[in-house]
Structure 1
Amino acid sequence: MKAVYIEVKGIVQGVGFRPFVFNLAISNNLAGWVNNDDRGVNIVLEGSSLNIENFIETLKKTPPPLAKIDSLETKEIKAKEYKKFEIKKSETTSNKTTIISPDMAICEDCINDINDKNNFRYNYALTNCTNCGPRYSIIKTVPYDRCNTSMSDFIMCEDCQKEYEEPSNRRYHAQPVSCEKCGPKIALYDKNNNLISEDNKAIKEIALKINSGEIVAIKGMGGFHLICDATNDKTVELLRKRKNRPAKPFAVMFKDIKQLKEFADFTKKEEEIITSKEKPITLIKAKSSSLSFFVAPNIDRLGCFIAYTPLHIILFKYLKNPIIATSANLSDEPIIRQKDELLEKLANVVDFILDYDREIVNACDDSVVQVVNNEISVLRNARGYAPTSLKAEKKTAKKILALGANQKATIALAFEDNLILSPHIGDLNSITSLEYFERTIETFKRFYDFEPELIVCDKHPNYESTKWALKQNIKTVQIQHHYAHALSTMAEYGLDEDVLAFCFDGTGYGDDGNIWGGEVFLANKKEYKRVNHFKYFRLIGGEKSIKEPKRVALSLLFETFSLDEVLKLDTPTVNAFSVNEIKLLHTVWQKGLNAPLTSSVGRIFDAVASFSSIAQTQTYEGETGLQIEQAYDKKIKEFYSYEIKNGNIDLTKAVEELIKDKQKELICSKFINMLVDIIITISLKYDLPIVLTGGVFQNKTLLELVCKKLEKEGKKYYYSKRVPLNDGGIALGQLYSQI
């Protein structure tokens, strides 16, 4: 007989960990206790050595479905001869380190409950248990107890209380547990804030509104969605007009995987992710179907997800078709979490609102992922995956706060051996977004009693996050944008060695004051050296050129030909301007008036879209990249010529060749093949692991081609999978530079 004390850290609260431990201890004939505190879960076991070993082995190998054990430390103690095993009340310490669990999609058991006419939770739209439901979106601080969540005002009825207190029940200490009798209520309002109906009647009525072509807002787990029938051309086009979103694809929600099969093709791996406990929006191949053309104009990929809350499951009982389910927000602002704010900002967009009275404390968007090389690659890190926690090799001496970039902003924290990345915040281009950014910082400070001793931010002087950092009177370190991209991937894999990093994106402030975005670094955790970059070209009109690819293409023509030669060219780019416009823009280009220099690969994609007549203007970030990828033909193996001189990757020859080709498939294929060749050619000069990072590598075709070639050459390579390759991963990279 012996006694042990066990300390478990990780995602171990709000995930049914204590009842799992209780039942495991009972089955192994062990006495003692288990409790929560601000650091994790504590267990005392008394019994035979063999039974204790069995207990620890089972806990490590098969923890509860939503748990993630980061560390499990055991020490022998003196036995107190407990008579039974019990669950003790949570304790509070002065050092909060327990990891917050992300929100999770509804589990099969809860789906069965809401579909069972004999169950007292039949058709209850806010059902959950320890294996599913809201976590991050309802928590105010740790430990994760009901009094610290937005469920604190709802007093459990007798039936719910019984389940909540029974350790063998899957709702034991499920903090949001409730039912129709004692829990939050569903209510339907019109856009004038008049109450129309409540409970299940409200869900039926809003389904009828959707079926008849209305645009509505429905409160999801972490914020409101704008919803309409995804097969109704007239309605989806109207939503685009009302939302002022001309072409950016909408996410589509389906009843289940069976319904999704009618509208899209997907691999076994994609199905596994779509039906996983996280149920993210997954980018998959659309097939010709009755979905409206306006869901994703000119794109053959769909952002698809299946119903992930009990409210969605019940809603689909009354719907005829799949639905658009896009974040309810104004452009560049975060997802809206309160009805009154929605009425204030989007009353001209929606006709009706379905709300419930459980507060969303922390807004959280839907995650977006795709499958690359038969593995998940996270594009937007949010519901189901975030907050994301990683373990550092060693403990940091300081509490560090990293502020990320200006687009796809996230924040990250380092304390002890924890690295924590927040959910997606959004672009910091509005007062509302900045308020949300500051609120997220305050939320995470509250979670962990965290006061930063060091702040890390970007070098860009005009980033709102940088401005905020420099006002804090706390020691601040500024990290170059593309170096942070490289470090982000290194952090995910715990790399502490020299790497060759290809950092390709749209925009980042360079060390020389120019706009970088096509960089090759020799880098490690402490320093970097820029060994190659795409030869600078001018962005005519600065920011305006980002929305007008034709300006970028014209700039590359000016780099390659004289003005007279450009005027004589018969290309889609030249034909998109008048002669006077070209002459005027040539003067702007020559004099460098509002025409900053850039090495950005993202902007080169824009230029290729113009040259190939795919797009002369674009309405959302990444539009040209998606369309170029769609035009790629894997049967075409040729690539455009280029030169590497004094570290400069010079595309002059490529431009000369490219304008002679007329077919968009040929242009796009030879361009992507050229990028692959550039990466491989430079990689072979160094005996180092390769890092591929930055938003350009979200291009699935490009990334898979590069990986295949690197494997063929026997090169070790890394790209981010759990953390976004885009600016959503920057905060983690900034953090990694300081630990």
Structure 2
Amino acid sequence: MGPVAVERIHVRVEGIVQGVGFRPFVHALATRYDLAGFVGNDTGGVFVEVEGDGDRLAAFVADLSRRAPALAQVERVSTETVAPTGQPGFAIVASVTGAGRDVLISPDTATCPDCLAELSDPTDRRHGYPFTNCTNCGPRFTIVTDVPYDRRATTMAAFPLCAGCAAEYADPGDRRFHAEPVCCPACGPTLRLVTADGYAVPGDPLDVAVRWLRDGRIVAVKGLGGYHLATRADDEPAVAALRSRKRREEKPFAVLAADLPAARALVDVSPEAVPVLTGARRPVVLLPRRPDARVAASVAPDNRDLGVLLPYTPLHHLLAGRLGVPMVLTSGNASDEPIAHRDDDARERLAGIADGFLTHDRRIHVRTDDSVVRLFRGRELPVRRSRGYVPAPLTLPWPFDRPVLACGAELKNTFCLAKGRRAFVSHHVGDLENYETLRAFTDGIAHLSRLFDVRPQVVAHDLHPEYLSTKYALHRDDVDLVGVQHHHAHIASCLADNGEPGPVIGVAFDGLGYGEDGTLWGGELLAADLTGYERVGHLDAVPMPGGAAAVREPWRMAAAYLDEVYGDAVPDLAVARRNERRWPAVVALARSGTNSPRTSSVGRLFDAVSAILGLRDRVTYEGQAAVALEQRARPDERGGYRVDASGPVPLADAGRQLVRCVVDDLRAGVDPGRIAARFHDGLADAVVRAAEAVREATGLTDVALSGGVFQNVLLLDRVVRGLEGEGFRVLVHSRVPPNDGGISLGQAVVAAARHRTDGSG
């Protein structure tokens, strides 16, 4: 047998391959196959040169994808042959910077089992250390300042490695081999507890903070992406005090449970929920509350569900474990403000809310809220996509021929940057209604544009001229502007979420969106693809007496709908009696059209029915009346209303017919919980009947469901079952929210599709 032929190849690996232990993995793999060469990071991902026997090289390349680290997402592996050098050994080499950037950044990742074991091991040098991490877990996106992903390009650059951590970092056999955030008590961030007026509290910060929590105090805790406000979840006075100070009257709080058994004591955890709760992303998961759950009534008033999450940093594990009871963990802000993430800003904004601050000296570079999901048919239905998910891109079947920035909507804002086949939907920014949130929006665009080297040539925006996101877009220079109708963007986001180009029957149900006819849309049937749409059906528009006041006071929508249905012969109903002092004036306002924009919104229909049933006359947060209606619906009710939704304009009269059915049942003494269930079923049936009418007219057989109303899993289930029963193929969301948090993705793909179609540029 002759000598073994030696070959050498250059390998490029693209995807999420930095910050996930990929270079150490390549080092170990090359050593296993007895190959020589080197591996390093650059602005395009990971580069490898490897030399040895051809069969071993082939096996090595195959294993780069097949055996990649758990947190890696390998998108592409490309190779080219180069000349052998004969140099022995395999090394991790210094990162290479360059002009073009195509590298991906890993989301922040929950503490892995190995680090958790060290945390609880009294013999380990990281025992009880709140910042333990390794290549398999820890902070990533929230600490990254630049790429390539190296310690010097993170906020950990301020902490030089001690001898022990440096040895682990350089040891190919250690799981902290080239783990950029590696640290320990000797060299890493330090925890401290300070009072609201800035004085350091003596003693162990964690022990004192736990004692304060046990005593019913409120503690601001610095997490991965910002500050949280924490207090005991079983202490009614403490939770009530948090509500009062935070000015968050009724919106549910999230609850942190120490582990899965503790979560099971609070909520019914289905088998499908287990991997979501315990996985690396650790979102808040909305699950049915157990009747014996030991939580204060003020945690989630009038809500059958509870938002539960498990610890995702060592600090949260230590806090939850030592406290021994579930704790409220809610965003560190006052109502309608963005989450505080800078230490000085947190002390200023939270001083009147928190009794103390459990903080540390590792800087948070990117403000990132907790993610929130529901479950539908065993899959995640995102409500808020942020920490743990961002900035992982959505890879799409169609290219973005020109780099795109999509500015999103006004509420639940996200923005989207896109190039190649990747769409980077941002972390949750919030409602663009104040300077702080607008600043977070503009800073976020600048940061992600730099990280992913996206220099927008196209800027997509909503049609509403008063949205701050629209105004920002219109002030961008040297770009092509693309206005995208709000509900078309919703349907396009659902298509992109599913990798489908359309055409479909799009059902877009939400609160409000600017319509091309000058009214406010929100109950729409669209024949749509990525490039355009036709409005083929909708609820008839009704007045919103008082404009924005009708959103805050759902009884006004009840007055408008009842006047539409009954005119001067409105039956004697409690909603009118409760609001009798202003009822005539509001009806007159609706009839006059003054300050009463007309809307086809399904969200406003939910508001009207909620008020008619006596659930909510006024709301303290967006969507509260609709949530109350979903929560009140009796799961054992099998009846439903049947309305004619297939007229010349499909769905047009469905809202008025449903209101009449609700009133008839209410006057007959039917339980409001049964009426609420029948309303959901009736609306679902109306959607099915309307979709059938559109199918007959257009031949379309696929339906896409989007808009914030489809966060309602009761309605979503009934609509999907009804449509599938009639032979439709149904698309729903699973990667981006159906609410306005997904709008930016829809805007981006519409802008790109129009460019591909018209050949401009």
The reply to whether residue 230 of structure 1 matches residue 233 of structure 2 is: yes
Aligned to 2:82: 77
Matches within 5 A, 1:409-488: 409-473=413-477, 474-488=479-493
The reply to whether residue 595 of structure 1 matches residue 596 of structure 2 is: yes
Aligned to 2:680: 672
Q: Which one-letter code corresponds to 1:692 in the other structure?
A: L
Aligned 8 A contact 1:456 1:735 in 2: yes
Q: Per the alignment, do residues 85 and 522 of structure 1 end up closer, same or farther by CA in structure 2, a change over 3 Å counting?
A: same
Aligned 8 A contact 1:251 1:326 in 2: yes
- In the TM superposition, what is the alpha-carbon distance from 1:93 to its structure 2 partner? 1.7
Supply the distance in 2 between the matched residues of 1:677 and 1:670 (Cα, whole angstroms).
10
Supply the distance in 2 between the matched residues of 1:394 and 1:559 (Cα, whole angstroms).
45
- In the TM superposition, what is the alpha-carbon distance from 1:545 to its structure 2 partner? 0.7
Aligned to 2:758: none
Match of 1:684 among 680, 692, 703: 692
Supply the distance in 2 between the matched residues of 1:720 and 1:652 (Cα, whole angstroms).
29
Q: Identity percentage over the alignment?
A: 36
Aligned 8 A contact 1:9 1:98 in 2: yes
Moved more, 339-348 or 458-467: 339-348
Aligned 8 A contact 2:645 2:689 in 1: no
Aligned to 1:46: 51
Matches within 5 A, 1:551-590: 551-563=556-568, 565-566=569-570, 569-578=571-580, 580-590=581-591
Q: Which one-letter code corresponds to 2:159 in the other structure?
A: F
Supply the distance in 2 between the matched residues of 1:317 and 1:669 (Cα, whole angstroms).
40
Match of 2:640 among 617, 638, 641: 638
Match of 1:121 among 126, 137, 154: 126
What are the ranges of 5 or more consecutive residues in structure 1 without an aligned counterpart?
Answer: none
Aligned 8 A contact 1:160 1:177 in 2: yes
Matches within 5 A, 1:143-162: 143-162=148-167
- In the TM superposition, what is the alpha-carbon distance from 1:602 to its structure 2 partner? 0.8
Aligned 8 A contact 2:413 2:430 in 1: yes
Aligned 8 A contact 1:187 1:197 in 2: no
Aligned 8 A contact 1:400 1:453 in 2: yes
Aligned to 1:324: 328
- In the TM superposition, what is the alpha-carbon distance from 1:165 to its structure 2 partner? 1.4
- In the TM superposition, what is the alpha-carbon distance from 1:31 to its structure 2 partner? 1.9
Query: What per-residue deviation string (whole Å, max 9, x for no partner) do you get for residues 81-117 of structure 1?
Result: 3422221111112111111111111111111111111
Aligned to 1:88: 93
Matches within 5 A, 1:248-397: 248-288=251-291, 289-397=293-401
Aligned to 2:532: 527
Moved more, 384-393 or 201-210: 384-393
Aligned 8 A contact 2:210 2:319 in 1: yes
What's the RMSD between the two structures over aligned residues? 1.5
What are the ranges of 5 or more consecutive residues in structure 2 without an aligned counterpart?
Answer: 753-761
Supply the distance in 1 between the matched residues of 2:489 and 2:378 (Cα, whole angstroms).
26
SS of residue matched to 2:216: coil
Aligned 8 A contact 1:549 1:618 in 2: yes
Aligned to 1:100: 105
Aligned 8 A contact 1:253 1:324 in 2: yes
Supply the distance in 2 between the matched residues of 1:691 and 1:595 (Cα, whole angstroms).
31
Query: What per-residue deviation string (whole Å, max 9, x for no partner) do you get for residues 538-597 of structure 1?
Result: 11111011111111011001111122x12xx2223212221x522211221111011000
Match of 1:184 among 189, 203, 224: 189
Aligned 8 A contact 1:224 1:337 in 2: yes
Supply the distance in 1 between the matched residues of 2:675 and 2:342 (Cα, whole angstroms).
47
Aligned to 2:412: 408
Query: What per-residue deviation string (whole Å, max 9, x for no partner) do you get for residues 436-468 of structure 1?
Result: 111101111221343221111111000001011
Aligned to 2:757: none
Question: Following superposition, which runs of at least 4 residues in structure 1 exceed 6 angstroms of deviation?
Answer: none
Aligned 8 A contact 1:640 1:658 in 2: no
Query: What per-residue deviation string (whole Å, max 9, x for no partner) do you get for residues 248-291 of structure 1?
Result: 10000011111112221110111221011111100011112221
Aligned 8 A contact 2:106 2:391 in 1: yes
The reply to whether residue 730 of structure 1 matches residue 738 of structure 2 is: no
SS of residue matched to 1:291: coil
Q: Which one-letter code corresponds to 1:623 in the other structure?
A: Q
Aligned to 2:147: 142
Supply the distance in 2 between the matched residues of 1:61 and 1:625 (Cα, whole angstroms).
46
SS of residue matched to 1:461: coil
Aligned 8 A contact 1:506 1:517 in 2: yes
- In the TM superposition, what is the alpha-carbon distance from 1:157 to its structure 2 partner? 0.2
Query: What per-residue deviation string (whole Å, max 9, x for no partner) do you get for residues 302-361 of structure 1?
Result: 000011110111223421311000000122221101232122112111111011000000
- In the TM superposition, what is the alpha-carbon distance from 1:640 to its structure 2 partner? 4.2
Aligned 8 A contact 1:236 1:294 in 2: yes
- In the TM superposition, what is the alpha-carbon distance from 1:417 to its structure 2 partner? 2.6
- In the TM superposition, what is the alpha-carbon distance from 1:62 to its structure 2 partner? 2.8
Match of 1:707 among 708, 712, 720: 720
Supply the distance in 1 between the matched residues of 2:595 and 2:431 (Cα, whole angstroms).
23
- In the TM superposition, what is the alpha-carbon distance from 1:731 to its structure 2 partner? 0.7
Aligned to 1:27: 32
Aligned to 1:216: 219
Supply the distance in 2 between the matched residues of 1:104 and 1:653 (Cα, whole angstroms).
49
